[in-house]
Each structure stands twice: as C-alpha cells, then as structure tokens.
Structure 1
Amino acid sequence: MSQNKNVNESSLYKKTVLSNGIRVVSEKIPYVRSVSIGIWIEAGTRDETEETNGIAHFSEHMLFKGTKKRNTFEIADALESLGGGLNAFTGKELTSYYAHVLDEHLDMAMDVLTDLILNPLLDPKELEKEKNVVLEEIKDFEDALDELIFDFFFQDLFSPHPISFSTLGKKEVVQGFKRDDLIQFMRSHYSANRIVIAAAGNLEHQQLVDLTGKYFSSLNSFSTRKLKDYPEDKPARRERTGHTQLTHICVGCRAIPYTHEKKYPLLLTNTILGAGMSSRLFQTLREQYGLAYSVFSFSDFYLDTGVFGVYVGTDEKNIDQSIELIINEFNKLRDKKLKEEELTRRQSQLKGNLLLGLESTSNRMDRLAKMEIYLHEFHTLDDVIHEIDQVRLKDVIETAETFFTPEKVYQTIVKPNHEP
C-alpha cells in the first residue's frame, strides 16, 4: 500500500495518511514501557435516526461478541493475559476501540483491535443476548438521575436533532435491532476515510504504519458524513419528575464548535465558574449557602456546535434559589466583575490540569485522535499553553456577554415524584 509519509514531522509526533485514507498518528514517549492505541471511527449518536437510535452503541457492544478468529472469551483474554486491557466507548460523534499494553505487545493489540473492526460475526444468537445486556445498561442509567439529567439537558437544547439522542438508545428501538441493521450502519460509517489510528507511548511510528497497512490493506470504502441543521434556539425551563430524593438541575446554553477561536476563553470561563472547590459556584452554592453537595460547570465541543452548563443537586425547596445564584454568577461575569489576579490563577489551574492529565498515555492518545479528527493538525502542549495565556479579561467578559443572556439560557430540572 502506498503511503504519504510523515505529513507532519516532529521529534515526537508523526502522522501518515495511507492511500485508502486511513490516518495514522503517534506520539513517542520513550520513558514509559507501555503503549495506548485506539481505532477511532467518526461515527456516533448524531449519525442515527429516531428509528435507529442506539445503533452506534449497540454495534460497539456486538463487536466484542465474537469474530472469525476469536470467541468472546478469547477477545477478552487476549490482552488481559498479557497484563493489558481492551475497551471501547461510543459518544455523540465518535466511537473508539482502544487498548493499553506493554510496548512489546503492540502487534498483538493491533491484531485484536483490527479483528474486532474487520471480522465481527454479529451472530444472531449473541445479538439477542446482548440486547438484554444493553437493556439492563439503560435501566441502570435511568436509575442514575444525576447522569440522566444530562441526557434531558441535551434533549432540551437540541431536540429533535440527533445530537440530542441518548447514546444508549431507547428500549423499544434496541429491542428491534437485527443483524442487517448493524451491517448497514457499519458499512455506511466505518469507512476508511473516517478511521484514525492513534497511539502514544514507547513505539516507533513506522511500526504502527506497517501494522495498519498490514491489517487494513483491503479496506477502501469511502463515506461522507451528513451534518443536519439544528432547530431554532428556544430556551425554556422544563421540569420532569423521577424516583429521586434529590432535585437535579442543569442550567446552560448551546455553545461553540471544537475549532472556534473562542474555545479557550470559554474553557477559562468554565474554570472560573465551576471547576473545583475554589470555583465561584462551589464557593457560593456549597460553602456560602450550603445548598448542595455537588455543583460544577462543564463544557463540550463538537463538529458544529457545543454546550456549556452548570449542574447542581439540591433539595426541591432550593430549586429557585439555586438557579438564581447560578444566574447571578453568570451576570457577575457579564458585568465585568473579574480581576486580573483571578484570571491568572485560573489560567494556571487550567494549564496544570492539562499537563497533569497528559501524564497518562491513554489521555495523550485521546488527545492525538481528537486533534486529528477535529483540527486535522497537531498542536503541541506549548501551543495550547500559549493559547491559554493569550486569553485576556475582555475575552472572558465577552464570552459571558455572548452566552449568558436570558434569551440563550435553558433550565432543565428533575425533581422528586411524590405520587405513591
């Protein structure tokens, strides 16, 4: 297979694009004895319809249920018997199959991962058993209202757009999946041009390229992702009830894509408001008013949109006061109540969190893959730190003025169901 070698060359990071469109990115970390490697597919919940909701996640499950080379136990044991691990996840836009192994077992990790992708049996009997597993997973998730609240929040922000769908899917839809449904989904989305092989650790890039060429030489499929338009932004307060003693609240808005120039001002806004015990929201809602045990803010970035929000778990009687205090913190930033000293501390916090997180080869592998998928280029840690340092007071204030207006803020609430 012909190769376009070292498209972006550096001492540690390398990228190769194979002739079939598969991208291979790696970062050599010579002082560790392990490698984290992942096969990333540009496919997720947003590629589903109402009639297929949950199929991306269910396909991921089924790939572990036997291949032409290995049964279910052999898949699990292949890397665990070597001290390594194998796993996968499905998200709104991406599916990742990944492994963490000693550097000497990279070939075996690649053999197992590619076996899952290229040779799944999708046995009808296993399919019916796995439906029960996923249905139990959905039940477990629905019982965890501190997690389910985020699904409701996405529904309120984006419905009926597929990015608002639950990744696990709906029970009645999952129960109806057939083998041909999975085959059709994978044929449509698991194409060569939508695959990224990412690895970080003690490895040679050329070895990874050679292994990718060896296993994926016959894959030449191509597909184009269709991005659907979003519905009109109509913020509202929506209340639901559930079997819970605690009331769960999300307050937030639609935000910006992964590539947006205001990404770092928004990340710093998030850090100021709700990242850690010293954040404004934690200090106000928990320390000053004693309204909640758990309170934090969050931000997520996607291909063509994003999300910013605040979560708080509190007693039902505190709903309005909690939301009022959150909105007050939004307004303080809009009203320019931010000093240089606080911004500097939060810049240091954000940089420290980033650097500490990247002591893990798994996190470095994730970062490599997402940069390739979303940015199509590599940004060094120095690049990112520079971007964080370049954020000024006016940038954070402008971010707050842009997103924290009443006509943009949604309120999602799940409170106790008092019916017997």
Structure 2
Amino acid sequence: MEQKHTHINKSILSNGIRIVTEKIPHVRSVSFGIWLEVGSRNENSTNNGVSHFIEHMLFKGTKKRSAFQIAESIENVGGHLNAFTSKDLTCYYAHILDEHLPLAIDVLADILQESLFNESEIKKEQEVVLEEIRASEEVPEERIHDYFFADLFRPHPLGFPTLGTEQTVKSFDQNMLLEYFHKNYTGNRIVIAAAGNLHHPEICDLIEKKFSALVKAPKLPMAKPLKSQQIKQKYIEDSLQAHVCLGTTTIEYSNKMKYPLLVLNTLLGGGMSSRLFQKVREKHGLCYNIYSYLEFFVDSGVFCIYTGTEQGKVAKSLELIIKELDNLKENSILDEELERTKSQLKGNLLLSLESTSNRMNRLAKMEIYMKKNISLDDISKGLNNVTAQEIQLQAKKLFDFERLVQSILLPVN
C-alpha cells in the first residue's frame, strides 16, 4: 500500500520546533502548515473561545504588513492562506507553488511573531466572531454537536464550544489575549509540516532563520477527561426537525485498538452502504441523514451517531439504532462485510493522499499524537489484521448503555 517516490524527514530545532516534511517530486505545489498544540481544551469558562479569537487576530496586521497585505501576499501568486482552530489544535497553513514557498514561510513567520493585536482591530474582530457564533447557532445540525460535546465532557473543557460564547468573546481585551498568546505560542508546542515538491534541508534553514525568536517553554499541564456517564438531555429550540446525537468517550489517537474501532465505525455509519444508513433511511425511510464518526485526541476520543428526522420519528429511529448496536455486541460480523469495510477504509485513505494538503495534515497529526510517522504499509497491516472478534469486543466496550450520552434537539412545537 505504501506509495513510492516520496520521502519523509524530521528535524527538531533548538527551540523545540519539530519539522516534518514529505517530498513529492511529481507535483508543482507545497502545502505548508504551522500546527500548535493549543485549542479550546486549553481554556477555562471565563476565556472560552480565546484560541479561536487569537487565530483571527493573527491575520489583522503585523509590524510590516497590514491585514490586506497579509491576504494579498499569497493570493497574488495564486496561493491560498487560511487557518483553523479545533478542540486541541490550531493550524495556520498555505498552499502555494513550490517556487513561492519562501514567501509563504515569511508571511506565516511574520503573523506568528509580529502580530500587533491593536485594540481597534480587537473590537472589530469581536463583532466578526459574534456574527460567526450567531451564524452557527442558526444551524441546528451544528448546535446539536456542541450540545453533545458539552453533555459528554462536562465540566472538562473538551466540552467547550471552539468559538466561545457571546459573553466570553465580549470580555476579551488586549492584555488577556497577549498573555494567553505568549503562554501558549512557544517553540516546543509547534509542529511545522510540509508536503509537496520541496527540499527538507532548505526548509529547515528557512524556518530556523525565520522562527528563531520563538522560545522553548515548559508545557502546561492538561487535565485528562473522565469516561462518559449515561446522560439524556433534550433541548427545545427553533428547528424544522429533530436532531439526535448518541455516543460515548473512547480511546486516544495513539491506542492500537484504534484499528478495530475504525472498522466498526465505518461498517456502522460510514457511508451509504453502512448498516445504519441502510436500515434507518433506506429500509424504514425515517431520516434523510444518518452517520457515525470518531474523533481522537491525545488522551481521549469520541464516538458519535447523528441523525436528523421528524420529531414523531425520533423514538423509532433510536429504537432501530439501539437494535443495531445490540446486534454488533451479540453477533460476529461476516467475513464478506469485514473485508468490504477494510477495503473501503484503505481506499478512502489512498484517495485522500492525492491531496498535498491532506498529506501535510497527516504528517502533522502523526507527529503530534504519535511522535513518529506511521507508514501506509503499517496502517494497511493494522487494518488487515482486524478480526471479527476484535470488532465484537470493541462493540461491547463502546456500546455500554450505562455510558451512552444522548442529546436531542427538538422543535418548539
């Protein structure tokens, strides 16, 4: 399964910055990302949303570039510059032609080290983020996942919304932002990943010159979340239909039992051929959308089933979902379904790696969560070795009804 003609390298600078690259000589582009091990899980109830807000502020001007100049610097050469914040990571990235890679490194180094955090820009960006929060609150399918994470992890900050709340965002000021920024944006919390037509030594030289001012600092302790306990929560809000999340906490990213879980998740709710899609939608016509997903962190994970349906069909939909979970706990899956699911997973992985951006993301996450690169051959071997007995064992552990969290958003009527 391993793809040929690529080469992966890793270096560590004196200030703790880790650099991982994959040389892909047959492309003309490079995807370059700066990943920080900081997200909403590093926050508290009074500064929730600050990681995401700082991500916005780093595009609002530096000592030598205005916000417009930051945007046009990459777009003028046909590239793409953006960022995102998640529960435990923040990433600033560019996709650019290989000849313009030094420019991308210069721009990203500039915003990471020389951003101004002007008070006037903070006030403007507060309004922008408040509108972003309000927009997300108008999408019930997004709201229910926020509610689910809050129910699953409360009071741990993994349950906090990444955007924060209107109350917390309105409270942000320059001193608080700068204090959080300097505490968390340190060299040893940074992984720089790049994939494309590149040369590792040249990238390391550029990064060392541009990022040498970043200091190495002790990592701040993180509280490990507890295992979920059974909760059933209903939220009555404006919505045209009901939205349901059912799930539980699970293992961390680096756990070897991740492979049986990936197979289990895919056969249960990973696509139109999955058991839940076929039974709940195709056979009984109870919903338009139903799926399951896994999300892994450094010390925990999440398994969730989502469906959206009419309010009067919620009970029947949940009944069918629970029956399918019981079926997986009580009965071993057939070899044919097992092999088809493995093939689906391996095919999805290989297709995703046609993108340099996806390759860059994979490099970074492997370094952050595993501290090493796992080859495609090893991943393929891990999937191929999954047995029906392992899947049944994981189903029994995962679908413990005393630990399942159920969050339902119902229409006002």
Q: Same fold (TM over 0.5)?
A: yes
Q: Partners in 2 of 1:169 and 1:238 — Cα distance?
A: 21
Q: Out of 26, 30, 36, which is 2:25 matched to?
A: 30
Give the drift of 1:221. 3.0
Residue 378 (structure 1) aligns with? 373
For the Cα contact (< 8 Å) 1:285–1:322, is it kept in 2? yes
Q: Out of 199, 204, 218, which is 2:194 matched to?
A: 199
For the Cα contact (< 8 Å) 2:11–2:20, is it kept in 1? yes
The answer to whether residue 9 in structure 2 is matched with residue 19 in structure 1 is no
Residue 334 (structure 1) aligns with? 329
Q: Out of 151, 170, 183, which is 1:175 matched to?
A: 170
Deviations 1:119-163 (A, max 9, x none): 001010010000000000000000011111111110110011001
Q: Out of 361, 370, 373, which is 1:366 matched to?
A: 361
Give the drift of 1:223. 2.8
Distance 1:37 1:181, change over 3 A: same
The answer to whether residue 182 in structure 2 is matched with residue 208 in structure 1 is no
Q: Which amino acid in structure 2 is aligned with residue 90 of structure 1? A: T
Give the drift of 1:268. 0.5
For the Cα contact (< 8 Å) 1:36–1:362, is it kept in 2? yes
Residue 161 (structure 1) aligns with? 156
For the Cα contact (< 8 Å) 1:189–1:223, is it kept in 2? no
For the Cα contact (< 8 Å) 1:44–1:56, is it kept in 2? yes
Deviations 1:81-125 (A, max 9, x none): 100000000000000000000000000000111111000010100
Identity %: 48
Q: Out of 234, 256, 261, which is 2:256 matched to?
A: 261
Residue 349 (structure 1) aligns with? 344
Gaps of 5+ in 1: 1-9
Give the drift of 1:234. 2.0
Q: Partners in 2 of 1:400 and 1:11 — Cα distance?
A: 37
Q: Which amino acid in structure 2 is aligned with residue 295 of structure 1? A: I
Aligned length: 409
Q: Partners in 1 of 2:54 and 2:38 — Cα distance?
A: 11
Give the drift of 1:11. 6.1
Residue 397 (structure 1) aligns with? 392
Q: Out of 77, 81, 86, which is 1:82 matched to?
A: 77
Q: Partners in 1 of 2:281 and 2:183 — Cα distance?
A: 48
Measured on the aligned residues, the alpha-carbon RMSD in Å equals: 1.0
For the Cα contact (< 8 Å) 2:225–2:300, is it kept in 1? no
Q: Which amino acid in structure 2 is aligned with residue 358 of structure 1? A: L
The answer to whether residue 182 in structure 2 is matched with residue 187 in structure 1 is yes
Q: Which amino acid in structure 2 is aligned with residue 120 of structure 1? A: S
Gaps of 5+ in 2: none
Matches of residues 19-418 of structure 1 in structure 2 within 5 Å? 19-231=14-226, 233-418=228-413
TM-score by length of 2: 0.98
Q: Which amino acid in structure 1 is aligned with residue 372 of structure 2? A: E
Give the drift of 1:380. 1.0
Give the drift of 1:231. 4.5
TM-score by length of 1: 0.96
For the Cα contact (< 8 Å) 2:332–2:388, is it kept in 1? no
- Secondary structure at 2:236 match in 1: strand
Give the drift of 1:232. 6.0
Q: Partners in 2 of 1:243 and 1:37 — Cα distance?
A: 41
Q: Which runs of 4+ in 1 moved over 3 A?
A: none
Distance 1:65 1:323, change over 3 A: same
Q: Which amino acid in structure 1 is aligned with residue 256 of structure 2? A: E
Q: Partners in 1 of 2:11 and 2:216 — Cα distance?
A: 18
For the Cα contact (< 8 Å) 2:227–2:249, is it kept in 1? no
Q: Partners in 1 of 2:15 and 2:62 — Cα distance?
A: 23
